[in-house]
C-alpha cells in the first residue's frame, strides 16, 4: 500500500438484523471513494470543491433501509444481468430456462434476489501497489433462481490520477448469463438538477423498446432527434424535446462503440463547476436515465435533505445490450463453466 492512498473501514448501520459496513479509499488529491456492503453500493465519490470541501458526484441515502425502500437501484450493483429479460425466459444451448420475475411478467436487474439485495463480504485487497475494495458473494441457483452457482467479486479501485475503476469477475459451474453493472446516478454540480449538464455519447443508435421497455431487436438512428448526443449536448435540450412522451425525459439504451477513442463511451460535464466524468467500457451498451420519475416515496436523498425531484441525477449504466440471450445479434453474455470472466467500467474524474 502506498502512502498516498488511505483505506478506512467503518460501520455504516444495521439493516434488517445485519451489519452494513462502509469501505473507503482516499487518494493524494483528496478524492474519496466509498462502497457499502449492502448491494455493493457505490456510496460516494467525493471530490474537493474550490474551498477544499468534499462534493459527492453520485446520489446517495443516509440509511441502508432507504436503498431497499425505493425502486430505482440507486448506485447499487446490478446482476447477474442488467436490464430486462423478456418473460424471465431464455434458452441455453437449446434448453429453455425460466428465472424469477419482478416487474410484471419480466425480470429486471437480476430479479427479486439480484446483486442489490444482498450484503456482500467486503474487504480491502492489498495485493497490488495500492489497495482496492473487494466485494465478494456466491450466488446459488437456490438463492436467485438463475442457472448454476456463481462466485462474483467486484473490485472498486481509486487511482492517483483520479480514476474510479470497477471490475466484475464472475465464475460459474454452469452456463449462466453475466452482464453486471453499477446503477450509478451522477450529479456533478451544486444544483439539484442535471438539466444543465452536458452529455456526449459515442453512439448513433438506440434500441427500439416496446411498451414494457423490452428490446424489439431493432435500432433507431438518432441524428436530428432529441436522443442525439454524438456531439456534446445539454441534457435540458433532450428533456425539453421529450415532454410529449410518457417518460418526459431519457430512459433509453444506447448502442455504443467502445472501439472508438480508447473505449471512451460517454462524457458528462457540469459547465458551471467544470467537473466531468468520462466513462470507459469495452461493452456495447449504455443505459441513460434522467431520473424523470424521482417523485416516488422514500426518496430520502442526502443532497436534498430528504426528498426526490425529477432530473435530480442522471444514471449512466455501462453494460452489454440488455436481453441479449433473446437477441443473439446483440452479442454473447454467457459465463462458460469454470472460465472466469471480467468486465470493467472506469470513471475518469476531472474537477
- Residues taking part in catalysis: 183, 317
The whole-angstrom distance between residue 22's C-alpha and the CA centroid of its chain comes to 18
* Contact criterion met (CB below 8 Å) for 170 and 158: no
185 assigned ligand-binding residue: yes
184 assigned ligand-binding residue: yes
* Contact criterion met (CB below 8 Å) for 132 and 125: yes
How far apart CA 289 and CA 297 sit, in angstroms, is 19
Q: Classify residue 81 as exposed, middle or buried by CB count within 10 Å of its CB (0-12, 13-18, 19+).
A: buried
Q: Which long-range contacts (CB under 8 A, 24 or more apart) does 125-130 make?
A: 125/155, 126/1, 129/2, 130/1, 130/2, 130/4, 130/5, 130/25, 130/157, 130/158, 130/159, 130/160
Which residue intervals of 139-244 are DSSP H helices?
Answer: 141-144, 235-241
* Contact criterion met (CB below 8 Å) for 333 and 168: no
Question: Residues annotated in the binding site, as ranges?
Answer: 183-185, 251
Question: Residues annotated in the binding site for beta-D-galactose, as ranges?
Answer: 183-185, 251
Amino acid at each position: 500500500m502506498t502512502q498516498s492512498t488511505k483505506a478506512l473501514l467503518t460501520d455504516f448501520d444495521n439493516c434488517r438484523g445485519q451489519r452494513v459496513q462502509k469501505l473507503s479509499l482516499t487518494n493524494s488529491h483528496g478524492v474519496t471513494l466509498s462502497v457499502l456492503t449492502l448491494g455493493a453500493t457505490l456510496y460516494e465519490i467525493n471530490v474537493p470543491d474550490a474551498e477544499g470541501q468534499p462534493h459527492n458526484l453520485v446520489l446517495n441515502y443516509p440509511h441502508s433501509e432507504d436503498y431497499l425502500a425505493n425502486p430505482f437501484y440507486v448506485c447499487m450493483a446490478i446482476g447477474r444481468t442488467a436490464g430486462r429479460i423478456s418473460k424471465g425466459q431464455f434458452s441455453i444451448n437449446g434448453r429453455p430456462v425460466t428465472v424469477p420475475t419482478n416487474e410484471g411478467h419480466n425480470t429486471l436487474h437480476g430479479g427479486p434476489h439480484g446483486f442489490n439485495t444482498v450484503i456482500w463480504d467486503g474487504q480491502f485487497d492489498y495485493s497490488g501497489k495500492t489497495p482496492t475494495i473487494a466485494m465478494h458473494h456466491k450466488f446459488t441457483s437456490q438463492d436467485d433462481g438463475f442457472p448454476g452457482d456463481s462466485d462474483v467479486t467486484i473490485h472498486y479501485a481509486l487511482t492517483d490520477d483520479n480514476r474510479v475503476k470497477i471490475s466484475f469477475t464472475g465464475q460459474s459451474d454452469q452456463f449462466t448469463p453475466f452482464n453486471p453493472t453499477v446503477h450509478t446516478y451522477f450529479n456533478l454540480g451544486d444544483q439539484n438538477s442535471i438539466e444543465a449538464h452536458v452529455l456526449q455519447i459515442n453512439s448513433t443508435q438506440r434500441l427500439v423498446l416496446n411498451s414494457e421497455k423490452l428490446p424489439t431487436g431493432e435500432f433507431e438512428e438518432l441524428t436530428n432527434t432529441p436522443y442525439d448526443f454524438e456531439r456534446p449536448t445539454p441534457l435540458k435540450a433532450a428533456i425539453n424535446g421529450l415532454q410529449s412522451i410518457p417518460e418526459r425525459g431519457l430512459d433509453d439504451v444506447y448502442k455504443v462503440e467502445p472501439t472508438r477513442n480508447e473505449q471512451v463511451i460517454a462524457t458528462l460535464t457540469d459547465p458551471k463547476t467544470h467537473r466531468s466524468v468520462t466513462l470507459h467500457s469495452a461493452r456495447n451498451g449504455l443505459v441513460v436515465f434522467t431520473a424523470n420519475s424521482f417523485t416516488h416515496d422514500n426518496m430520502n436523498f442526502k443532497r436534498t435533505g430528504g426528498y426526490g425531484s425529477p432530473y435530480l441525477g442522471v444514471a449512466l449504466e455501462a453494460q452489454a445490450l440488455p436481453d441479449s440471450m433473446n437477441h443473439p445479434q446483440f452479442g454473447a453474455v454467457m459465463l462458460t463453466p469454470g472460465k472466469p470472466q471480467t468486465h470493467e467500467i472506469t470513471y475518469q474524474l476531472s474537477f
